[in-house]
Structure 1
Amino acid sequence: MFPPPTWCGRSWLPCYCSQRSSLFWDKALLAVIMQSLVQSVFDKLLPPACPTYTGLVPLITTLLQDRTCFRAALSKGLGLGIVAAAGLIKLPQIASIVSSRSAEGLSKTTFLVETFGHTYNLAAHVRQGYPPSTYGDFAALLLQNYALLVLIYAYSGQPALGVSIVVGAVSLLGGMCSGGFPLGVLQALTAGNVLLVFASRLPQAIANYRAGSTGALSLVTCVGMWLGATARIFTTLTEVDDPSILAGYIAAGVLNGIIAMQVLFYRGKKSPAAPRPATKKTQ
């Protein structure tokens, strides 16, 4: 509501004109700022295969008509979604360990090898200038793996060793991301992604099978890791021209799927307790 009218000199008309003019210009300025902000955001989010953002309707029309733009936009959207989900995907696993105060069923080898793999893959993507949407999940997963390693070793009676491993892993990441570390070594490591995936996931799958239980493994985390690896196959095909990275994601999708099915199959089952040594009766 406007304030009570004032009178303009000899005129008998209320002086709403200046107030309405000011309100009009405020709205117009706000609209220009919002339009500029939306355009800058879309220009940063849209892949190079898509034209410059000029409006929502033209963008939808382009996506429906241009398959190249649609694939690139879908890949980038999936990549950003994976990065966002990666920041939460292992929190249920962390919560499961803390609540049960046990790391039973979790393979140390799996998390150590996985952490090493995330480290050099993150460094290789950064050094080669790939879009952040293709590697941001490595950074998020690494942070959660650091916490998991500390917890696993702490509940195994080796807290100092767990902290030392994490400090070493952080130092290794910093060294690999620096220009002093040979890029050729990183490329050679990514070429062995399939072997690393098998080395990191197979021990966990074998341990689950032998124990007849998945221990403290989180169903949400395992299913999420499988879905993430599967989605990464598409984003790698679209945005990253590297067959070794693609092969690694295919292997990860298969093995993460096996572990997720094991969690479903063994759900609610506990590993058999180790038999106690027989004690001799004294007469």
Structure 2
Amino acid sequence: MEASAMESLCNFLSLTVVGLCVIMKVPQIWSAFKAGNTNGISLGSVLLEQCGYSIMLSYSFAMEYPVVNYLETAFLLTQNFLLLGLIIHTRDMLSPKVFIFFVLYMIVYLSIANKFLPEVMMKAVISLNTPLSVSSKLTQILALYRNKEPGRLSAKTWGIAAYGCYVRVFTNLVQTGDPFIILSFSSGAFLNTVIVIMILFYTQQKRTKLY
């Protein structure tokens, strides 16, 4: 395939990811909001995911990668903030510590985005993204395994997440060649798929018990 055709394919796939990620977490957020609880959603998983998204967005912005190659991360970050807000509200966790952590969070990630950190630290930061992403998904997998039921988790949300990771493995192989980002998305694709399978399995088990 010619370079221009490959670039066009990458841009098209990137747009599908961005389009889907605009609504990716909406089913999960809506389910939790409607039920008035966030049962089944691991707070640890969401916090780790938030850190991973923030690193990916701020690092990609700092490195001046094509915007279309990471735009969906901005949408996911926004939706994750809403999900965290729901968790904090439904579990009555609001306290001054939350505001302090938020201020520290903003200082760290604005420093990355504006290249206030030395290059060696920038590379160290992005290298953390893979363990953060893996830890986030493993935390949710363990919570699912312990609970044996999906709660407010949405197979649609995690299915879109898996698709986005598979596409990003391909587009980054073609467009950036960044090994840190490729490894992060590869592990995310596999673990997201595991979570989808577990949600479908436990949902089916729950239905079987009801009948």
User: SS where residue 203 of structure 2 aligns?
Assistant: coil
The residue type equivalent to 2:46 in the other structure is: F
Offset at residue 171 of structure 1 (A)? 4.1
CA distance in 2, matches of 1:130, 1:68: 18
Counterparts in 2 of 1:45-84, with a 5 A limit? 67-84=2-19
Partner of 2:65: 130
Partner of 1:144: 79
CA distance in 2, matches of 1:162, 1:78: 40
Counterpart pick for 1:219 among 155, 159, 162: 155
**Contact 1:149/1:162, CA 8 A, preserved across alignment:** no
The residue type equivalent to 1:108 in the other structure is: L
CA distance in 2, matches of 1:219, 1:115: 19
**Contact 1:123/1:186, CA 8 A, preserved across alignment:** no
Could you tell me the percent identity over the aligned residues?
28
CA distance in 1, matches of 2:98, 2:31: 20
CA distance in 2, matches of 1:211, 1:200: 17
**Contact 1:154/1:162, CA 8 A, preserved across alignment:** no
Partner of 2:188: 252
Offset at residue 81 of structure 1 (A)? 2.0
Alignment root-mean-square deviation, CA:
1.9
Offset at residue 143 of structure 1 (A)? 0.6
**Contact 2:58/2:109, CA 8 A, preserved across alignment:** yes
CA distance in 2, matches of 1:94, 1:161: 24
Asked if 1:202 is matched to 2:138, the reply is yes
Pair 78,161 (structure 1): closer, same or farther in 2 beyond 3 Å? farther
CA distance in 1, matches of 2:156, 2:83: 15
**What TM-score do the two structures reach when normalised by structure 1?**
0.68
Offset at residue 192 of structure 1 (A)? 3.3
**Contact 1:193/1:247, CA 8 A, preserved across alignment:** no
CA distance in 2, matches of 1:257, 1:162: 34
CA distance in 2, matches of 1:187, 1:220: 33
Asked if 1:105 is matched to 2:40, the reply is yes
The residue type equivalent to 1:153 in the other structure is: I
List gaps (5 residues or longer) in structure 1.
1-65, 271-283
CA distance in 2, matches of 1:134, 1:190: 16
CA distance in 1, matches of 2:43, 2:58: 23
Considering only CA atoms, is the larger Rg found in Structure 1 or Structure 2?
A: 1
Partner of 2:171: 235
CA distance in 1, matches of 2:188, 2:123: 19
CA distance in 1, matches of 2:130, 2:90: 30
CA distance in 2, matches of 1:161, 1:155: 17
List gaps (5 residues or longer) in structure 2.
none
User: SS where residue 89 of structure 1 aligns?
Assistant: coil
Pair 140,169 (structure 1): closer, same or farther in 2 beyond 3 Å? farther
**Contact 2:138/2:191, CA 8 A, preserved across alignment:** yes
**Contact 2:51/2:132, CA 8 A, preserved across alignment:** no
Partner of 2:112: 176
User: SS where residue 171 of structure 2 aligns?
Assistant: helix
Offset at residue 70 of structure 1 (A)? 1.4
**Contact 1:153/1:161, CA 8 A, preserved across alignment:** no
Offset at residue 242 of structure 1 (A)? 0.8
Counterpart pick for 1:191 among 106, 117, 127: 127
Choose between structure 1 and 2 for higher RCO, CA contacts under 8 A separated by at least 6 residues: 2
